[in-house]
Amino acid sequence: MSHWLGGEKRFRIQGEGDLGERMSRALAESFREGSPATVIIGSDCPGLSPESLARAFDSLSHSRVVIGPARDGGYYLIGLTGSYPRNFSRS
């Protein structure tokens, strides 16, 4: 990841569980470590440029949430300025 998107950022593995559990845990861990903003990207996004990631972080300087919409109706990126675990739960 650092070769692809630059070495100045920290990268973490999502871990076990369904997608919502993995995303929620990754975000919570990042914020516990003191990150002011966290961006999660899909592992299937080889076309994502460092500039796109930088724009997401720039957007988080004045928004609480940023979403990169995918052509299929989903998203390829989600960024937050705080942990919102209820956003990723099934209930």
Place of tokens 């988080």: 60
pLDDT score, position 7 = 65
Give the count of alpha carbons within 13 A of 83, CB side only: 17
Architecture of domain 2-88: Alpha-Beta Complex (3.90)
Distance CA 90, CA 88 (A): 7
Both structure tokens of 58: 């720039």
The pLDDT of residue 80 is 93
What are the sequence ranges of the domains in the chain? 2-88
Mean pLDDT by 10 residues, the chain (91 residues): 64 78 86 91 78 93 92 89 72 60
Q: pTM of the entire structure?
A: 0.76
Which residue spans within 1-91 are E strands per DSSP?
A: 38-41, 65-69, 75-80
